[in-house]
A and B are shown apart, each in its own frame.
Chain A
Amino acid sequence: MSSSEGPLLQQLTRRLAETPADMLAEPAVGNKAGVETGSVAGDVLRGLGLLNPDARWLAGLHPEKADKNQRNFLRVMLVANWLLADPWFPGKANPAEAQNWLYGSSIAELAALTTADVFVKDDDRREELVRLCLKALGFVPQGEKEVQAQDRLESISSVERQRVVAASRKIQDAARKRRAEEEERARKVREEMQRKAAEAAAAKGTRE
């Protein structure tokens, strides 16, 4: 499929940089109040011209329970919706493809690696999200050839891979250090127990 010319990349990355705090707030989960991710996604898709967004999927964006990772997924979903709500898209983007992008694995994969805030604060991550969005909707940034756009996206992704590797190494180093500290502490506890076992305990009023 050949791609059409999209908006200026900077127009969309600036939009992400200016994401309002409301869109980064905690999502509604169970009885806990928060941003209704499903309502936001439904409004955005209808704004793009989709008559009947997938209701079951939208309802699933307000889960009964959510751990930290699931909450981050919902927050990344909100940021992606904020991007799709840019005035450039209505009338140009295919709303069904927009729903497919949100509905597919792309957002979940991004959320598994990166917290939502980073897609707002970090230059590379903003660019990555914009390029992924445009690619999913069949556009290339204004002024770029399709090959250029693809190369740049891969480059951004390789940066991401490196970041993940570095982060993983950091986590492993921290875990190793923590294990060593725990071993040392356990050794001290064993020694203390041996020493104290030979001493008198405190008077206790009752038997057990």
Chain B
Amino acid sequence: MDVAPSPVPQSPTLEQLYELSPTANATSRATIAALYSHTSAPRWNHPAGDRLTFEDVERLQEFALELAHGRGARAVQPDEKILAWAEKRIAETPLFRRNIASDFDIACRWDELPTTSREDVASRTEWLVPDDAPLERMIIYRTAGTTGHALLVSHDALAVACYVPLLNSALERYGVDTRFTPEDTACFLVGSQRRTVTYPTALAGWNGAGFAKLNLFTDEWSSTQARQDYFAHFAPRVLTGDPLSFADMLEAGINSGSKALVTTAVAMSGNLKQRLEAAYDCPVIDWYSLTETGPLGYACPLGHGYHWLPHDVHLETLDEAGQPTTGRGEITVTGGRNPFIPLLRYRTGDWGRIDYAVCPCGDPMPRLIDLEGRAPVRFRAGGTKLGDWISAQDVATVLRRYPLVQHQFEQSHNGACTLTYRALARAPWSCIDLEAELRALLGQPVVLVEDAELGRRTASDKVIPFRSKMIEE
């Protein structure tokens, strides 16, 4: 596949924002307008909304009900619903039809069913799209993820909207009220990067309440005071983000009176979690979610691992040889809602074990234990210990523009940076341009090393995508 162009940054108009939230009523629109044009608002750079139709909203409500009633104890083997789903997807999906005999008995031979991985999404994604998937609904997300594969992930607005009921389910376990009115500000998604998309909108999943994706990076705001005022004025009930962004928020003294912080994307240290809980006087909920799979788990309120969250996926763990294990193994997912990527024994690249024992917190779903999360990574610009922090997401933003199947970006003890990559075959691109972009971002040269076998030397394809030995010291 050729290099896919990224959306061009553009300051959205209110009309665009309304159009992208087709079910927003007058009150929701007023909420969007308030978020958009507040005197302390940052510079918005991206038009976005939930894109749901009224029919989608009905289906979303059905999903929320199914989630509420469908969570319960699970077995090691998939249940009838998952088996029926898998059988249908195998028949409809070109990649599965090629790899799995039409009379393969998945109920009897589940453990022999071939697995899939990020490699399939990165290199063969068009063969993963089922015959009956509605292409006109397709939307695209970009991710680097835990295994260093640069991915374009096909998705669907309704499947994405299902994140909200899943998030609500976790919030409710922490006693957070998830009933919203269209006048409320439900959530701010907080980032802290040189460049990331920002927009205000309202989400039908939260009854049309306000939502904004924000960047704490100071260039986005008229002043640091304006940044603080914006958070204080809208007081979103929930903040979602990653540990580094929340750490920056804490350092900047921003407070919004939120009832919960949901931290995603990378593992959070116990120390930072305690500091955040103390400073904001609310629970800090660790969240396990991948772009390809959607949310999979949330941290148990009593600290007993991560509870398996969605009712409509099956989780299992596979050892290095790809065999099911009751011990620690690669977390492997079947099921879900994305019509463009049917997850059939999808190996996530993350490792842990599943505990089926009853949890004292009262959540009946099994738990992921010893989950090997993604460590937060930042780099020092200029290769010196006094250089500015550059986040891994900023480097990922540059890398996404190039057809790299998998990559490993590393800053050594002495500050030198090396990018090892495996590029997509036959895709035209310039490594000189890539080096120039990375040099501009990091203020120092970057050594580029092509490795056609990157990620292929281990059974799991796993590569650590970002690593800083300067930080690890």
Query: What is the interface of chain A, defined by CB distance below 8 A to chain B?
Result: 30, 65, 67-69, 182, 185-190, 192-194, 196-208
Contact = CB atoms under 8 A, between A and B. Distances in A.
Contacts of A205: 163-164, 167, 187, 189, 203, 205, 211, 240
A200 B241 CA distance: 20
Contacts of A188: 135
Contact of A208 (B143, B157, B161): B143
The interface residues of chain B, by DSSP majority, are classed as mixed
B48 A200 contact: yes
A200 B19 CA distance: 12
Contacts of A207: 189, 191, 240-242, 264-265, 289
Contacts of A208: 143, 145, 264-265, 289-291
B125 to A, nearest CB: 7
Nearest to B264: A207
Contacts of B240: 205-207
Nearest to B130: A185
Contact of B48 (A30, A186, A202): A202
B367 interface: no
A206 B191 CA distance: 11
B1 A67 contact: no
B411 interface: no
Contacts of B311: none
B20 interface: yes
Contacts of A202: 20, 48-51, 139, 155, 157, 160-161
Interface in B79-111: 94, 103-105, 108-109
7 contacts: A30-B108, A186-B129, A198-B4, A198-B8, A201-B140, A201-B141, A205-B163
User: Which of B1, B5, B94, B264 gathers the greatest number of chain A CB atoms within 10 Å?
Assistant: B94
A143 B46 CA distance: 90
Nearest to A64: B108
A185 B4 contact: no
B265 A198 contact: no
A206 B4 contact: no
B11 interface: no
Interface string B39-59: 000000011111100000000
A193 B152 contact: yes
B163 A190 contact: no
A203 B211 contact: yes
Interface string B134-160: 010011111101000000101101001
A203 B143 CA distance: 15
B4 A201 contact: no
Contact of B264 (A68, A69, A206): A206
Nearest to A204: B160
Contact of A206 (B105, B127, B131, B167): B167
A182 B129 CA distance: 10
A203 B199 CA distance: 9
A27 B241 CA distance: 57
